[in-house]
Amino acid sequence: MTDTHTTSHITTAGANWQAWQESWDRQQEWYMPDREERFRIMLDMVEALVGTAPRVLDLACGTGSITARLLARFPEATSTGVDLDPALLAIAEGTFAGDERVRFVTADLKDPDWRTKLPYDSYDAVLTATALHWLHREPLATLYGQLAELVRDGGVFMNADHMIDESTPRINAAEQAHRRARREQAKRDGALDWADWWQLAAKDPVLAEPTARRFEIYGEHADGDTPSAAWHARVLREKGFDEVRPVWCSPTDALVLALK
């Protein structure tokens, strides 16, 4: 399916949740063409460390991208998705409506009491992707301490996100220029970027109202941090995880795994 076709399909279909999921995936892949690879490695590590029927917390779940891939691969898994974004949660709830393996919770991860809204006190795995860079270092470190208490002994936390190594400025600049040129070509070929996608959501009769609320909450984009994988590993150890290291990386991103 091309991005142009996706756009047309969504505009005419309204609340076609699968179409919105696919469009979200395409928009995210415009930024991260290796997005599926990080999900594959994440689920490989879930299987290796906690098995094929885990209780999972999909942290800052968005439309439920991780949950969808988790259940497709491990049908006996269960997932709790937590997010604050009303528009993305509407898509997630519409997509998984009637699936007893999935629950969604509306909560602000910066709220000290957000964990009280969860249906379980502990999880085999807490998974998140391309979401926690919305937080600055201090609230992120606080969150890591909270997650260390949520993950059971022997369980895992994994974060796949933008993690910039500031010790290699020339490499970073060259990669950024190459990535920008690739994105611009994809945009000329009809790809949706972040702003385009949200403009579509704002025009949809079902998503217009939650999209408006979403921008009241977040504004155009949060101004968080993208510290290095080494920073994430150090803080996760300080907060109570036993073994921590990257298990996948790209020129700009990494998947850091923390074992309780």
pLDDT of 189: 87
Structural tokens at position 243: 């073994």
pLDDT of 103: 98
- Look at the block and give the residue holding tokens 């949200």: 198
pLDDT of 4: 33
Helix (H, G, I), strand (E, B) or coil at 44: helix
Structural tokens at position 257: 């795994």
pLDDT of 148: 98
Q: Which amino acid is at 223?
A: D
Q: How far apart are CA 20 and CA 65, in angstroms?
A: 11
Q: How far apart are CA 242 and CA 153, in angstroms?
A: 10
Q: Quick check: 210 and 87 in contact, CB under 8 A?
A: yes
pLDDT of 224: 85
Q: Quick check: 129 and 46 in contact, CB under 8 A?
A: no
Q: How far apart are CA 103 and CA 79, in angstroms?
A: 6
- Taken as a whole, the chain contains a residue count of 260
Q: How far apart are CA 109 and CA 128, in angstroms?
A: 12
Q: Which amino acid is at 222?
A: A
Q: How far apart are CA 164 and CA 167, in angstroms?
A: 9
pLDDT of 220: 74
pLDDT tens across 108-166, in order? 999 999 999 999 999 999 999 999 999 999 999 999 999 999 999 999 999 999 999 99
pLDDT of 1: 32
* DSSP 8-state assignment for residue 251: S
Q: How far apart are CA 209 and CA 206, in angstroms?
A: 7
- Average pLDDT per consecutive 10 residues, the chain (260 residues; last block may be shorter): 34 70 94 95 98 98 98 98 97 97 98 98 98 95 98 98 95 94 89 91 95 91 86 98 98 97
